[in-house]
Amino acid sequence: MLLVKRLLTSFILFLVLSVGLSIGTLAVVGAVVGARAAANNPSARDYQSGYAAGHAAGQEVGRKYGLVIILTALGLSAVAPLTISFSGILPWCRNKPRPPPLPQI
């Protein structure tokens, strides 16, 4: 029963972490690259032209590194839940404590 709890916990954590890590990492990388492209664009005089330059740079990074980011997020999301659920950090994934054996008389 403990094995089933641990596997179910690791599966649920995998789903949550894979979605969160992939979307979060793509958003952060796209935002950083887009902000740099808009800041370094001398022809960006107003909001629309800066947004267009940043959006184009973010799309390019997504196409170029998107698969690498998603595969890395899936790899981390596969290892981390197994480590968390099988190490006993979560209370429902711990072994039940057993009383010490009685002394022999």
**Given this model, what pLDDT does residue 39 score?**
77
- Distance, in Å, from the CA atom of 37 to the CA atom of 56, rounded to the nearest integer, reads 9
**Given this model, what pLDDT does residue 35 score?**
80
**Given this model, what pLDDT does residue 53 score?**
80
**Given this model, what pLDDT does residue 60 score?**
87
Tokens in use for 97?
A: 């404590």
Q: What is the pLDDT along the chain (105 residues), one digit of tens a residue?
A: 888 999 999 999 999 999 999 999 988 998 888 888 877 877 767 778 778 888 888 888 888 988 998 999 999 999 999 999 888 888 888 888 888 888 888
Buried b / exposed e across 56-88, counting CB within 10 Å, b at 16+?
ebbeebeeebbeebbeebeeebeebbbebbbee
Q: Residue 72 in contact with residue 60, Cβ under 8 Å?
A: no
For 12, residues 6+ apart whose C-beta sits below 8 A from its C-beta are 81
**Given this model, what pLDDT does residue 76 score?**
92
Domain boundaries, the chain: 12-87
How many CB atoms sit inside 10 A of residue 44's CB? 17
pTM exceeds 0.85 for this model: no
**Given this model, what pLDDT does residue 75 score?**
93
